[in-house]
Chain A
C-alpha cells in the first residue's frame, strides 16, 4: 500500500470520525444531563437528511437544505422531548430503551409514509464538488474535506459553548447535580428541552452532510446510531471530550482496518483466505476495540465523575 493511499484512508477515517462526533455529542449530552438512553437519536439523523434533501430539491440550494436540516431535527427533537422523552427521565433504562425503540418504529414508518420507500436524491453542491489537490500529490474529494472542516468547527464551537457560556455552565451543573440546579431556580425542564434539541440539531446536521455522499433513505440512522453508542461507551458516557476522542478512534480504526487488514493477513496466509479473514475481522474491529477498552476501563476513557 502506497503512502498516498494510506493518507487518503486516514482522511476518510477522520471524516467518518467527525461525523460520528456530531452524532455522539448529542447522545452523550442527553445521557450526561438527563440520564437517558436515546435509541431514537438515529431517527433525528434521518430527519435531518430527509429535510435537507426535500428542501434542496425544492429550492435548488444545498445550503438552504442544511439550514432546514438543523431546524427540522431541532424541532422534531423538541417535540419528542416535550411529548414523550420527558416522561422517561425518572424511569429505569429498560423503559427508556423500549420507549425510544418504539419511537424508531414511529419515525421510520412515518418517514416512509411521507416520502415513500425509494431513496431520495441529494447531490453535493457545485461549489464543493470535484477533487482538490493536497500537498504530496494527493487528490481528495473537496466535499469530504469540507465535512472534516465543518465537523471540527462544530466541535470547537461546542467546546466553547460548554466551557464559556451561561447555557454551558447550566449544562455542566445539570450533569453534576440535577436536583441542586433545579433548587437554585433554573427552569430544569426548559434546559432539558434545549439540550435535547441541540443534540438533535447536531444529529440532523450530520445526516444532511452524509446524505450527500450516501443515499438518503429510511433506516439510514440505525447503523450510525450503533457506531455512536460504541463511541460514547469508549469515550465515557457524558463526556464531550471522550466523544471526540472516541469518535476519531472509531472512525480511524474502522476505515484503516477495512483498508489494511486484508493486506496484513496476506503476508502470512494465502490471498483468498486473507481477504475473507481480513474483511470479517475488519468489520468486527471496532466492537473488539470497545470490548477491550471496557475491560481495561469499565466506564470508558474519560469518565465523568
Chain B
C-alpha cells in the first residue's frame, strides 16, 4: 500500500477512537468538537471536488453551505411554530426529519450550484475566483436583508431534528450520523476521482485544450463537478446548522468560504483526505490557541502563512510526498 493510504487509515481510526475515548471518559465537549471537525471536513470534501480535482478555485462555497443551513433553518422553524409555508398557492408543511431536510438541502444547493456554475464557468482564472466570491456575497446580503427568516439575527431551532431510531440530542449518536455521512462523501469522492468522469476532469485541470482536442467539452465536466461539489457542501451546511441549532447569515459570509478553502489547502489540495486533516488541524489550532491567548487569530495567521510559504502540498503532501501529480 502507498504511504498516503496508511495515513488515510490512521485518520479514519483517529475519528473513531477519539469520540470512543470521549464517551468512556465522559467528555461530551470533545465529542461536540470532533463532530464539528467531521462536519467541516464534509464541507471541505465537497470543495475539494471542484478545487482539487477540477482546479476550479471557488471562493464562494459559503453560498452552498449557507443554502444547506437555511434549508434546515426554514423547514425546522416552520415545523416548530406549526405554521405551513406559503409558496404561491401551495402550502408546504415544515419538517423536523433530518432525512427530508438533507434531501432538500442537497437539491437546493445543487440548483444554486448549477445556476452559479453555469454563469461563473464562462470565466476563468482570477475572474472565476472573484465572480464566485460575488455570488456568495450576493446571497449573504440577501440573507441579511430578508426579514422573514430572522434577517441579520438568524434563526434559532430549539430542538435538534430527528433521525429514525436515534436520539440525535445525544452527542455520540449525532456524531455517528455525521461520521457515516463523511465516510459516504469520501467514498463518492474517491470513486469520482478514479472514474472515467474523474479522469476527464483531472485532464480538464491539467490541459483543457488537449481534452477539447480529443473531443471532450470541459465546460460540461466542470459544471457537473461544481454541482456535485456544491451538493456535498450544502449537506454539510444542513448538518452544521443542526449541530449549532442555529442558522445565521454568517454561514454565507466570505470568511466561511475562506475557511472551507483553508481546510482543503491546509490538508493538501486534491488529496482524498486533505480536507479532513485540514479541518481537524484548523479546529484543533483554533481550540488550542484560543486557550492560550485572546489574540489567537494572530498566531493562526502566522501558522497559515508558514504553511503556504514553506509546506507546499499541505499536511498530506508533506507526509506522503508528491505522489499525486499537481499542476
Contacts and interface: CB of A to CB of B under 8 A. Distances in A.
B142 A291 contact: no
Interface stretch (B86-94, B175-183, B231-239, B297-305): B297-305
Contact of B137 (A94, A109, A112, A287): A287
B298 A105 contact: yes
B131 A99 contact: no
B290 to A, nearest CB: 12
Contact of A233 (B134, B300, B305): B134
A101 B258 contact: yes
Contacts, number: 124
Interface stretch (B13-21, B30-38, B74-82, B261-269): B261-269
B178 to A, nearest CB: 26
A98 B265 CA distance: 8
A295 interface: yes
Nearest to A104: B301
Nearest to A293: B131
Contact of A294 (B131, B141, B258): B131
A150 B24 CA distance: 67
Contacts of B298: 105-106, 109-110, 113
A298 B123 contact: yes
Given A87-B309, A237-B126, A283-B142, A98 B304 contact: yes
B262 A294 contact: no
Contact of A94 (B131, B269, B297): B269
B254 interface: yes
Contact of B57 (A94, A99, A226, A291): A94
Interface in B289-327: 295-298, 300-302, 304-305, 308-309, 312
B221 interface: no
A113 B308 CA distance: 24
Contact of A113 (B119, B125, B144, B295): B295
A113 to B, nearest CB: 5
A102 B312 CA distance: 15
A288 interface: yes
B5 interface: no
A84 B131 CA distance: 26
B130 A229 contact: yes
Interface of B: 51, 57, 59, 119, 122-123, 125-127, 129-131, 133-135, 137-138, 141-142, 144-147, 254, 258, 261-262, 265, 269, 295-298, 300-302, 304-305, 308-309, 312
19 contacts: A88-B308, A94-B265, A95-B308, A95-B312, A97-B57, A97-B59, A98-B308, A99-B308, A102-B300, A103-B301, A105-B301, A105-B304, A109-B301, A110-B298, A222-B254, A229-B133, A233-B131, A291-B138, A300-B127
